[in-house]
A and B are shown apart, each in its own frame.
Chain A
Amino acid sequence: MSKKVGVYICKGCGIGDSLDIEKLAGLPEEEYSIDTVKIHEAFCTKEGVDLIKDDIANGVNAVVIAACSPRVNYDVFDFGVDKIVERVNLREQVAWSHAPKDEDTQMLAEDNLRMGIVKANASEPPVPFKAEEDYSGKLLVVGGGLAGMTAALEAAKAGYEVILVEKEAKLGGFLNKCKQRVTFPYKELTPTGIEDMAAEVSANPNIKVYTSAKVDEISGGPCLFNLKISQNGTQITEKVGSIIQATGWVPYDAKKLPHLGYGRFKDVVTNVEFEEMAKEGKIRRPSDGGEVKTALFIQCAGSRDPEHLPYCSSVCCLVSLKQATYLKEQDPEAVSYILYKDMRTIAQAEDFYRKAQRDGNIFIRGSVEAVGDEGGKLYVAGYDELLGEKIKIEGIDLVVLAVGMVPASKPEAVPKIKAPEGAPGADSEGMIEVAADSGFFANRTLNLLYRQGPELPTLRYGFPDSHFICFPYETRRTGIYTAGCIRRPMESYQAEEDAVGAAMKAIQCIELTMRGMAVHPRAGDMSYPEFFMQRCTQCKRCTEECPFGAINEDEKANPLPQPTRCRRCGVCMGACPERIISFKNYSVPMIGDMIKAIHVPEEDEGKPRVVALICENDAYPALDMAGIKRMSWSPYIRFIPVRCLGSVNLVWIADSLSRGIDGIILLGCRHGDDYQCHFIKGSELANVRLSKVAETLQRLALESDRVRYVEIGIADYHKLPGILDDFMKVIENVGPNPYKGW
């Protein structure tokens, strides 16, 4: 595309008072032969925007606006998808955070402008991806329980066709086993209503239900998912746009709890067995069918126990309250003891706790030491924390173990694969356990034909991984969303809400993919990675490292990108040693050119230069925030926003150092168990890659101190100036880069 760049320098919001605007305005013509340069008091006004629009009408198609942060006024400066708009941050990161009318501030603004112009020059307007195949706008829901059916109904009501696959012969899932449920507004027991819902699903013309069926295979990507479903020995093929996995949970195996009497005494049952007994009719002692006059519920049976389920399932307290209510209804004279660690009735469910208290159930906070049999009745011995004494409750007819929820995806035993030669942790047969966050860990449900494994990567407890705080429904496979207890333990009302959320995300995915756009978190982005295959060396790094499994592989290890699965983070671009992966508006040479555009003063001027590669998602807004708060930091740092630290290609570090840049700082999101990276593995990968850089630096006779990686959250803006100034001190101590001026 032939490009005509226009540069627009704003004087508003204090920029004009801080900088020599006339001098700055001379730069584009002088260095880049750009003749369209305009200055205005405020480009965000109608007059200002019209000025730009006039130029666009006269042929400008790449607009460089040197004004406020790209995080504001993006709607004002939207000139259509075919125009390149590059924003140069002169307000938050220059005028508001550095000394006015200062030489260093002016140099900072000039470098920012140079980088903006270079980037606009190197960018092409993105062309949305469209596969040759026809797109499907249907949804697949796997699992016909409460969450699955709710999601199906919601999507159907919104006008989308839904395919619902249920492994059992009957829809309804776990609620089929339940007598009643406790749900909003948590005052009384209510009917489950699951049969009505199943009937509604079956009758809905937009929903095609396959019961006693399972998914044999899924290939493709969003809007292109090809399914093979088997039902009663026949195989059906379907095509869908997005997928909701609502395969629910299983109770924790009480056989692992012999210390609580399970398996040793017939009158020790789990909450699931109690529920089934209540549903069948009468609550009795399983040993002799006798009356239950005294029941004792042991909460957290196996839960919040590092030996068993280390987490809280959040619903077992409410379930026990419900079951104590069944018993009260059956026999008003019956006594229920509830022995708890903490009563956790979430949000308004507290009302049901109050009801159970009013009913006269006895709540004891403490722990169990022994469950035993004495004269045909059970006793529970333990410690009462609130009394501060040992207790022994005798004459119990029934002990109920409130066992927790295990996601259906959690395997019984961790699957093993053949380990590479000499790998640590391999057993005598050379097999090694797969990591939970690989696609090979979870129980088979979706059977994806993905290079990175057939199932969703999970957390170590088996729940599919997602960015828990910011976008909980997004799993690590684009277009596949989880809802209900597969995602985290939750009670039925929450599962319904969850299903609605997942249905919405699944619909958004279809709509965005059809327009060639990315889903969350870069929703609406139309660029996608393109591979210059002639130079590919089949190193497999891109296919291995993509956090979303978006790249398949052929038998010769050539990457087969699936753009509809892509989240546009650029981790593949950061991975590629041949640098053959690039986006229309984001590429390795482009950032390289930006680094080269920075003017590096001679050593004797005593003005070091540092490049900061800064994550757009958290660190960049944090820096803006620091600017808004009028904090200040070294004017020698040049910030280059990146889509994710995972997209940082190590060649940029080499580029910088060989240009005489004195130091490089990478600012990105927290990684690890409580990661905040928007692309899940990006900042972790960056950290791993960076650890290899030290070696290279030493080879170049450079100090490894020159490169630093810092984790920062969006709320940590107040720490940023300190972090940056610290790094500048280190650079000062290390001294100037010996490659300056080469």
Chain B
Amino acid sequence: MADPKKKGKAEGPVSYDPSFSKEVFEKVDYGEKIKMCMQCGVCAASCPLSMVMDYSPRKIFALIRAGKRSEVLSSKAIMLCTSCYSCKVRCPRKVPVVDVMHGLANYALKQGYVPREETALFGREFWKQILRLGRIDEKDLPRRYFFSKGIIPGIKKSMELADMGIVLMLHKRMKLLPERSVKGIKELRKMLEKASAMGNGGA
């Protein structure tokens, strides 16, 4: 397993503590499904983001089993899932890995674990834009995200990615003009507000 980030690793031997897995089984959405995990690693191999995760999905489940509460709930991995569903489709034990990851992220937030700054900023900008346009503007969202940390880092990051932006535009993959909002944006906002009020808002 390529797992270069060993941070948070305890010094002494790990003592298994079943109480955290019990907590996950009972309180996390789809948490009980983890019982069926047989640690085959198909999820980790399928995950397009596992190379930037601190722990692969498989490892997350192993950590839950071992009772490593803070490692799991403060991990980057549970926040990084993009819902591509590769893992869920492939899991031989029918563990809905995507749902478990979101369940864990949600649970971590409720438990007061603050996501890392980048994740939180991006999430905030993302939701702002959804509320404003009802869709994502592929050049506006990154720009806002880059500049949310200040003007200098914003310019720096934009320059870094300028080449890619030009290529995308030349291939008509990105429009030059700003996106317009979707039809019925007001209705969409109402729906999102209601969903948020019901407490099922996303990360």
User: A17 vs B21: C-alpha distance in the bound complex, in angstroms?
Assistant: 77
Find the B residue at minimum CB distance from A361: B35
Within 8 A of A (CB), among B1-33: 1, 3, 9-10, 12-16, 18, 21, 25
Residues of A with C-beta under 8 A to B62: 384, 386-387
Tell me which residues across on chain A come within 8 A of B16, comparing CB atoms: 337, 362, 364, 391, 393
Q: Which residues of A contact B21 (CB under 8 A)?
A: 362
Residues of B within 8 A of A335 (CB): 18
Chain A: minimal CB distance from B67 (Å): 10
Q: Which residues of A contact B12 (CB under 8 A)?
A: 390, 392
A39 to B9 alpha-carbon distance, docked (Å): 86
- Tell me the residues in window 315-365 of chain A with beta carbons closer than 8 Å to chain B beta carbons: 335, 337, 343, 353-354, 357-358, 360, 362-365
For the complex, give the distance between the alpha carbons of A599 and B25 in Å: 83
B91 to chain A, nearest CB (A): 13
Chain A neighbourhood of B25, CB < 8 A: 360
B36 x A358 contact (CB < 8 A): yes
B66 interfacial contact with A, CB 8 Å:
yes
Q: Is residue B88 within 8 Å, beta carbon to beta carbon, of the partner chain?
A: no
Q: Which residues of B contact A384 (CB under 8 A)?
A: 14, 62, 66
A387-B62, A391-B66 known; A360 vs B13 contact (CB < 8 Å): no
Contact of A354 among B36, B58, B59 (CB under 8 A): B36
Question: Does B63 belong to the interface (CB within 8 Å)?
Answer: yes
Beta-carbon contact of B3 and A362 below 8 Å: no
Q: Give the distance in Å from the alpha carbon of A386 to the alpha carbon of B37 in the complex.
A: 12
B1: A residues at CB distance < 8 A: 388
How far apart are the CA atoms of A337 and B16 in the complex, in Å?
Answer: 10
B82 contact set on A, CB distance < 8 A = none
Q: Is B65 on the interface with A (CB-CB < 8 A)?
A: yes
Complex CA distance for A381 and B15, rounded to whole angstroms: 9
Measured between beta carbons, the chain B residues less than 8 angstroms from A354 are 36, 93
Given known contacts A360-B25, A362-B21, A386-B62, A393 and B39 CB-to-CB distance under 8 angstroms: no
Chain A residues with CB under 8 A of B13: 381, 389-392
Rounded to whole Å, the gap between the CB of A600 and the closest CB of chain B is 63
- Of chain A, the residue at the smallest CB distance from B66 is A387
Contact with B along A363-391 (1 / 0, CB 8 A): 11100000000000000010010111111
Q: Are A389 and B14 in touch, CB under 8 angstroms? A: yes
Q: Which of B9, B12, B13, B21: most chain A Cβ within 10 A?
A: B13
* B38–A357 touching, CB < 8 Å: yes
Partner pick for A360 among B9, B35, B38, CB 8 A cutoff: B35
User: Complex: how many Å from CA A354 to CA B93?
Assistant: 9
Residues on the A chain within 8 Å of B36, using CB: 354, 357-358
Q: What is the bound-complex CA distance between A364 and B35, given in angstroms? A: 12
A390 and B12 CA atoms in complex are apart in Å by: 8
A394 within 8 A of B: yes
Interface size class of B (residues with CB under 8 A): 20 to 34
The count of residues in chain A whose C-beta lies closer than 8 Å to any C-beta of chain B is: 23
Bound CA–CA A362/B10 (angstroms): 21
**Chain B positions 108 through 133: 1 when the CB is less than 8 Å from some CB of chain A, otherwise 0:** 00000000000000000000000000
Tell me the complex Cα distance, A388–B2, Å. 11
- Which A residue sits closest to B34, measured CB to CB? A357
Q: Which A residues are CB-close (under 8 A) to B15? A: 391-394
A564 to B80, CA, bound (A): 74
CB closest residue in chain A, given B22: A360
**B residues within 8 A CB of A393?**
15-16
Q: What residues of chain B lie closer than 8 Å to A343, measured between beta carbons?
A: 38
A364 contact set on B, CB distance < 8 A? 16, 65
Question: Of B9, B35, B39, which is within 8 A of A386 by CB?
Answer: B39
Nearest CB in chain A to that of B10: its residue = A389
In Å, the complex CA distance between A738 and B59 comes to 73
Chain B minimum-CB-distance residue to A360: B35
CA distance A353 to B36 in the complex (A): 9
Q: Tell me, in angstroms, the Cα distance from A389 to B8 when the chains sit together.
A: 12
Give the complex CA separation of A730 and B14 in angstroms.
65
Contacts of A365 in B (CB 8 A): 39
Bound together, the chains give a CA A363 to CA B25 distance in angstroms of 16
B56-70 interface mask toward A, CB cutoff 8 Å, 1 = contact, 0 = none?
001100110110000
Which A residues are CB-close (under 8 A) to B35? 357-358, 360
From 642 to 693 in chain A, residues with beta carbon under 8 angstroms from any chain B beta carbon are none
- From the candidates B18, B37, B38, B63, name the one contacting A387 in the complex (CB within 8 A): B63
User: Which B residues touch A387, using CB under 8 A?
Assistant: 14, 59, 62-63, 66
- Least Cβ–Cβ distance between A556 and chain B, in angstroms: 66
In the complex, the chain A residue whose C-beta lies closest to that of B63 is A387
Which chain B residues lie closer than 8 Å to A337 at the CB level? 16
Name 23 A/B residue pairs within 8 A (Cβ), A-sorted. Answer: A335-B18, A337-B16, A354-B36, A354-B93, A357-B35, A357-B37, A358-B35, A360-B25, A362-B21, A362-B65, A363-B38, A363-B65, A364-B65, A365-B39, A381-B13, A384-B14, A384-B62, A386-B62, A387-B62, A388-B1, A390-B12, A391-B16, A391-B66
| Chain A to chain B: the 8 pairs with minimum beta-carbon distance, closest first | A390-B13, A392-B13, A386-B62, A391-B14, A386-B39, A393-B16, A357-B35, A389-B14
* Beyond A363-B65, A364-B16, 19 additional pairs, beta carbon < 8 A: A354-B93, A358-B36, A362-B16, A363-B39, A384-B14, A384-B66, A386-B58, A387-B66, A388-B1, A389-B10, A389-B14, A390-B12, A391-B13, A391-B14, A392-B12, A392-B13, A392-B14, A392-B15, A394-B15
